Structure 1
Amino acid sequence: MELMTQAPRPSFITALKRGLKGRCPACGDGLLFWRYLKVEPACTACGHDLAQYPADDGPAYFTILIVGHLIVAPILLFPFIWQAPLWVVIPATLLPLAGLTLLLLPRIKGAFIGGLYALGVKEADAHLHSADAAD
């Protein structure tokens, strides 16, 4: 009888990198998403259950945090933007904000799921973190 050995869990950084690339955090081969932000139910390469990680609002929060620092903070440093006409300021700020947000969101969601995988946080563990568990 042949024993099946399970591959060791990758490091936190490796799981983050795999998720950032849109790959399965367990094996790094299968795709993490089947649409823009829709997570594959299971990895097509290794069969790992990818739907068990509660990404919820975390990726959106981190995306807003990063985009805000990359776009909004530098804008505040340049006084000429305050003196420019509104018809120039609005497209000059909204287009990069929207573009960078749409570009980063799936990558950050992938990294977030990779981090959840590496830490072993699953949807089924939600009862451990609820207010009822503290009683």
Structure 2
Amino acid sequence: MSLGTDSGVPFWAAGITRRCPRCGKGRLYDRYLVVRQACGDCGLDYTEVDTGDGPAVFIILIVGFLVVGAALAVEMTFQPPYWLHLVLWLPLILILSLGMLPLLKATFVALAYRNRNL
């Protein structure tokens, strides 16, 4: 496996835009987290894509760090009741996790292409 210089668009740009890592134009997903069979513009085959649990692990770490830090700051400053913590942080955890998952999965697909595993 070699890192080529002609690796398409930058992996972070392909991840953020959820576009093809080769051409940067074709959509990566058919539906939420369902990767297409191939790019509609350049024809890059996505059938061998396997991101595994990588995106979920990073999301757990990132969202956990953000929410625990914010919950600790709110607890130390305002000392709200526990039910208010539940009302505040549970929706935030769900929104952040489900919002970041397609972005990180697309980034992992772009990294797989960049490292010639796709």
Q: Normalized against structure 1, the TM-score is what?
A: 0.75
- What residue ranges of structure 1 are gaps of 5+ in the alignment? 1-7, 123-135
List aligned pairs for 1:41-52, cutoff 5 A. 41-52=37-48
Q: Which has the higher strand share?
A: 2
Q: Which of 7, 11, 14 lines up with 1:9 in the alignment? A: 7
Q: 2:64 aligns with which of 60, 65, 68?
A: 68
The gaps in structure 2 that reach 5 residues or longer are 1-5
Identity, % of aligned positions: 37
Distance 1:22 1:30 in 2: 9
- Larger radius of gyration, structure 1 or 2? 1
Structure 1 segments, 4+ long, off by >3 Å, are: none
In the TM superposition, 1:90-109 aligns within 5 A as: 90-109=86-105
- Cα RMSD (Å) of the superposition? 1.6
Contact 2:18–2:106, Cα closer than 8 Å, also in 1: yes
Structure 1 or 2: more helix by fraction? 1
Distance 1:89 1:80 in 2: 13
1:46-67 deviations in Å (ceiling 9; x for gaps) = 1101222210101111111111
Cross-structure match for 1:126: none
How many residue pairs end up in the alignment? Answer: 112
Contact 1:19–1:32 (Cα < 8 Å) also in 2: no
The letter for the 2-side match of 1:90 is L
